[in-house]
Amino acid sequence: MNSSRTRLVVVGDALLDHDLCGRAERLAPDAPVPVVHGTRRSSRPGGAALAACLAAADGRPVTLVTALGDDPASDTLRELLAGRVDLVDVPLDGTLSSKTRVMAGDRPLLRLDDGEGRARTATAAAETAVTGADGVLVADYGRGTADVLRTALTTAAGRAPVVWDPHVRGRPPVPGVRLATPSAQEARTFARRLDHADDTGDEAGLRTAARDARTLVRAWQARAVAVTLGERGALLSHGETPLLVPTPAAAAGDPCGAGDRFAAAAAGLLADGALTEAAVQAAVHAATRYVAEGGARAVATADRADAPEAASPCGDTTADAVRTATRVRAAGGTVVAAGGCFDLLHAGHVALLQAARRAGDCLIVCVNSDDSVRRRKGSGRPLVPAPDRVRVLRALECVDAVAVFDEDTPERILGELRPHIWAKGGDYARTELPEQPLVESWGGQVLLLPYLDGRSTTALAHRAARSPAPTGGTPR
């Protein structure tokens, strides 16, 4: 089947996730705890809602069936999902679960959980969406959505591929699912409940994972079980000799949501008609890329109340740039970024940006804010304010998006974009770039491009200042 016509239905418990990201460089004087400062708050769909958004980013229509209520968290999630997926909600008892992570760089320091809402009952619309799907992904987070739709899911498993991503607080998959995708820890917990066997050796070891997968295939009456092993890949079992699918490369980054990325990729491919082995191999590669490219934060949206820079006169340029980078990555493309003040756009700038665009599938230009330019260039700069600079850059055919940053260097915005290539002019060939280690940390590359000699904003400004005033004629 063709993914452009294949509709995937994601069934499960949606969450609302928040990140408070900042820097931790010292301990508090009154307690041995880190002080996080310079925080920026962002929100994103979580749980089954994240899985649905990731599946939709693969280019297929997705319907999310989940439990939502009338509480503020449910309303916020509806806004975040608008335009990404079709939503069919069932009644929620209580308030939607939300999670807040306090982050120092890529390291979580603390998580705060709120809301214990559970799905109350199924609806006719939800049952129809499930039984009529081309493929189904169950993203069970133990809050009842899969339980109230269990009859419809059993019917769906008899006629379409169903992928079940289980949770230790939830019930086992319905019989006949095409693929179940527990983590190694989840598989160990489920298998222990079934066989009451004593643990031997490393719980994440391949022998243990193979034994657990074999047990679960038989107990769950599943066609196959893929035990996810983090950076080691996944172990696929049909009940006999397992197949190890290793990751293509080590990926350093935030693994939050990697299991959802794996399950969403596998479910979409099985709905398209792929073989289970091929779907699992592609899902391992998709999860590896997901972690390397920033994980769940790639689908986050800055909360304006806590991010005043988003209300700049340039508009929400960062969110637009992040969406562009996410879309291109999801399609397997190469994201290129370039940066600078671009105060008076001249031929040297244009040549650099055109060359950068040819190096990949999109070009995102990172521009210093007015305050940042003043700190770097002096009180007389910039000559052109940021909104005008952004507008001119956006008008260039080679530029796909523009992001404005207020710091002296672009590390923060690069951390959000995670480009595959960071392009700089050849005049930086003998200069140590402070952002180079950051770009290389997620597998990116700094690329130097030819720069036209003799072109500079400073030279243009000096020539304009020396030009004699016109002596006659009509002003223009």
Question: Which helix H or strand E contains 165, and what residues bound it?
Answer: strand 162-165
Question: Which strand ranges, in their side-by-side order, compose the sheet holding 98-104?
Answer: 107-114, 98-104, 14-27, 34-47, 301-302
The two most distant CA atoms of the chain are separated, in Å, by 98
Does the annotation count 260 as an active-site position? Answer: yes
Between CA 413 and CA 314 the distance in angstroms is: 15
Between CA 91 and CA 67 the distance in angstroms is: 6
DSSP string, 174-222: PTT-SEE--BHHHHHHHHHHHH-PPP-S-TTSHHHHHHHHHHHHHHHT-
Of 260, 272, 316, 343, which one is the catalytic site residue?
A: 260
Between CA 439 and CA 419 the distance in angstroms is: 8
Among 253, 326, 272, 401, which residue's Cα sits nearest to residue 45?
A: 326
Per the rule left: phi > 0, alpha: psi between -120 and 50, beta: everything else, 273 is left
Residue 357 CA from chain centroid, whole number: 23
E strands within 373-469?
401-405, 421-425, 445-449
Between CA 18 and CA 115 the distance in angstroms is: 13
Structure tokens, 81: 């999902």
Between CA 297 and CA 279 the distance in angstroms is: 25
The residues annotated with a catalytic role in the active site are: 260
